[in-house]
Structure formats: C-alpha cells, structure tokens
Amino acid sequence: MTRNADLFARARHRLPGGVNSPVRAFRSVGGEPFFTARAEGPYLWDVDGQRYIDYVGSWGPMIAGHNHPAIREAVARAIGNGLSFGTPCEAEVTMAETICRLVPSVEVVRMVNSGTEATMSAIRVARGATGRSRIVKFEGCYHGHGDAFLVKAGSGALTFGLPDSPGVPKPLADLTLTLPFNDFEAATTLFERHGDEIAGLIVEPVVGNANCILPRDGYLQHLRELCTRYGTILIFDEVMTGFRVALGGAQERFGIRPDLTTFGKVIGGGMPVGAYGGRRDLMEQVAPAGPIYQAGTLSGNPVAMAAGLASLALVQEPGFHARLEAKTIALTDGLQAAADEAGLPFSTTRIGGMFGLYFNRDHVDSYAKAMASDAAMFKRFFHGMLARGVYLAPSAFEAGFMSIAHADADISATIDAARETMREIG
Ligand code: PMP
C-alpha cells in the first residue's frame, strides 16, 4: 500500500469523506487524493515522493509560488513576537492601508479569517444598511458556505431560491434570488419586479467557481447601474480575482466601483485571512463604529497579517501581473494547440493569473455552456495529466491558477503532458 493510500484510509475513518474541504476528495474525478508532504515554487511533492506541477496553488493564495522565502521569513519574524495578542497590532493597520491603497473603492476594511466570513459579513452589512432582506446571487457563483449562498436557481429563469444543501432553512433560502450570469435581460427583469426589496447583489466579477467565465462587455456596468437605480448594495466577491486578475482586482480591470468588496486567498499568502470593505458610510455601520455586529477572536492575527503583507508586497513588484498573464496565455495557447492537434472539442478562457479549460467547442460565456462541457473527457484528462506529474483542479468547474513561479520549462512540460494525454483520450 502506498503512503497516500494508507493515509486516505485513515482519513476516511475520522474525517467526513477523508477531507476537511470537499473538492479535495477527488469525488468528481474519481480516484483518491494525494497527500502533500512539501511544496516549493510551482511544485507539490506527495508523501510517496511524486512531484507535481501545481495549477491549484492552494486554491488561489499561492500566486507567488509555494513557500516563497519572503513570506516564510515574514512569518518567522512575526512568530518571534508571539502568535496572537487579542489587542490591536500595527500589522493590521498596515494591512488596511495597503488594501485601501490598492483597491480604491475600499475606504474602510475589516479583516476576517476566511472568504466565507467575508461574504457572510458583507451581506449582513448590505441588509443592515438598507433594511431590506433579499439578496441576489448568480448561478454557478460560489461565495463560501454561508446559508444565504448555498442556493441555486431552479429551472425557471427567475425562480426564487431553493436550498441546495440540507440544513439551510427554506425561509432563509427564499431570501436569495438567483440569476444567470451574463444575461442582461434577466437582471433587468428581476430588478423591475423586486428591486426595492433587494439589499445586496453579490457577484464574482469573473466566475471562477464554474471554471472561469468572463463577463460580457458591459455586463458588470449593467449590474452597477441596476444596483444604483434601485438602492441595492453591489458586492464584488474578489476572494479569487482580488490581486490576481490585476493588482486592483477585477474592479480595476473592468473599471467598476462596487459598494463593497470581499477578499481572501492572495491577501493571506497561505494563512487563513479574509477581508470585507468598501464605502466608508457602509463600513462605519459595522461594530463598534456602528450597530451591525461582526467580530473574530483571531481576526487580524499578527502572523496571518505578516504573511498577507508579504504576499501583497510581492504582487506589487513592477510588471508582476503582466508577467503572470503572459504565463497564463502561454499555457492556454499551448493547451488549445494540443487539443486542436488531437481533434478534441476544447476551449479556454483566461484573465490575469486565472484560466478555464473546457472540453467544449464553443467559447464558454455562461453557466449553461460551462455545464454542457464533456465532464467524462475532463476526468480522463485530469487523470492523464496527474499520471504525468501535473496537478489540475480535481473538478471540471474550478478555475486554474497560475503562479509567478511557473517557469517556461514548467509550462512546456505541462503542454507536452497535455499533448500525450489528449492523444490518449481522444
Ligand atoms: N468566494 C469565492 C469567489 C471563492 O472562490 C471562495 C472559495 N473558493 C470563497 C468565497 C470562500 O472562501 P473560503 O473558502 O476561504 O471560505
């Protein structure tokens, strides 16, 4: 028995499904996950000594590559002063100032410990500030596991929410309305009917949880205008896109100013960090400045802030995002060429350090098209790549992540592996 198999057998006995977060379990691609022993740059090594070129990057945080010395050293220095204080510390102030400087729509920010906490809190602010209860989210968008978000559309275009998870009370799920992403008309119609009741609209400006769907021209602007017209708080969930698709996130790239923004992943450099922030008049309603309650024992933790600040320092290096995007382009172009050679139905999407791979001949710009991709072919592709030492997200509906540590040689090796794999699965 391999050490991986032994560990997974033990894990399955004591952890639900053997994991602490579902997608890690390989359920949608089949087979068993590997257990990582060590990570460095663009690579993971499992407990059996196999090396993988990694395009998951801990699901987004490792934009500078794994175990970056600058982040590691910042953490080591912070640890020397203690692990947690429960009082304010300087790093929190520097972090808040850094976020507000890099993302100008954020005038005031609150640090939390995960993306889920950030989105749950942002929705609370939207509801508290407007006195309204309903929220809007999009099919295929993921905003963490808060009750309000585990809701997807029914078959109709403007159906009221249905619980997608047992444990979400129906009256709560009913407050979440869902829309198809990139459908201008559906959004207009929903607001015409319910605009006055909608506290907040939350959107991943690039949908990274249905693979990687880019907004159509003008779509985010359309949402901005509807929210402004109806007094709805526009929330950009930039947990994934923040500091990744551009230094100032998707809102910089698409030139939209949301009312609130949520962050996670890159902002923590690999430590559990999230944040939400935005308009001063809204954020100053958060306790103790105002009555909307939200708190956290470990929020603004000094070690986590040190990792996050080091991560944000790296992405601020001149030309970082241009270099990152060039790598993403080289990879997706190479994979497309390999698929064309093998005659497979395949398309890609990309922006900054994010990409989508679809076994679908069409350009994917909607959730419906993403769902229409060939999932069985993706499974074979995933396993073929894994066997050749390339780790892609173990699901057809997760974005891929590039890091600045992926060298040309890693990208060429990935494309070579894809050429072989695609020939095999075609
Ligand atoms: N929002 C988005 C856009 C995400 O991608 C995720 C996680 N993948 C979350 C929120 C939730 O973040 P976390 O897993 O840190 O709770």
Ligand 1 nearest atom to the CA of residue 60, by list position: 8
**pLDDT for the residue 163:** 46
DSSP 209: S
**pLDDT for the residue 164:** 66
Residue 240: CA atoms inside 13 Å, Cβ hemisphere, count? 28
Please, are residues 350 and 356 in contact by the beta-carbon 8 Å criterion?
yes
Tokens 């500030």: give the residue: 129
Q: Is the peptide bond before 291 cis (omega within 30 degrees of 0)?
A: no
Q: What is the mean pLDDT of each run of 10 residues along the chain (426 residues)?
A: 96 97 91 98 98 98 98 98 98 98 98 98 98 96 91 43 72 93 98 98 95 97 98 98 98 98 98 98 98 98 98 98 98 98 97 97 92 93 98 93 98 98 94
Q: What are 235's strand-pairing partners?
A: 202, 260
Q: How many A from CA of 414 to the centre of ligand 1?
A: 27
Rounded distance between C-alpha atoms, residue 61 and residue 268, angstroms: 7
For residue 297, count other CB atoms closer than 10 A to its CB. Answer: 8
Ligand 1 nearest atom to the CA of residue 119, by list position: 10
Q: Which domains does the chain have, with CATH numbers?
A: 3-67+318-425 (3.90.1150.10), 70-315 (3.40.640.10)
Kindly state if the Cβ of 209 falls inside 6 Å of ligand 1: yes
Please, are residues 332 and 287 in contact by the beta-carbon 8 Å criterion?
no
- End-to-end CA, the chain: 32
Q: Which helix (H) or strand (E) element contains residue 149? A: none
pTM of the model: 0.96
Please, are residues 118 and 146 in contact by the beta-carbon 8 Å criterion?
no
Rounded distance between C-alpha atoms, residue 392 and residue 358, angstroms: 13
Q: How many A from CA of 85 to the centre of ligand 1?
A: 26
Ligand 1 nearest atom to the CA of residue 116, by list position: 16
Longest dimension (CA), the chain: 62
What phi, psi does 203 have (nearest 5°)? -145, 145
Rounded distance between C-alpha atoms, residue 51 and residue 277, angstroms: 39
Kindly state if the Cβ of 240 falls inside 6 Å of ligand 1: yes
Kindly state if the Cβ of 267 falls inside 6 Å of ligand 1: no
* Tokens encoding 96: 């808040």
* Tokens encoding 160: 């009221």
Instruction: Compute CA 90 distance to the chain's CA centroid, rounded to the nearest angstrom.
Output: 28
Q: Which of 46, 54, 183, 237 is catalytic?
A: 237
ipTM here: 0.99
Q: Specify whether 142 is catalytic.
A: yes
Please, are residues 57 and 401 in contact by the beta-carbon 8 Å criterion?
yes
DSSP 145: S
**pLDDT for the residue 397:** 87
What phi, psi does 258 have (nearest 5°)? -75, 170
Please, are residues 297 and 85 in contact by the beta-carbon 8 Å criterion?
no
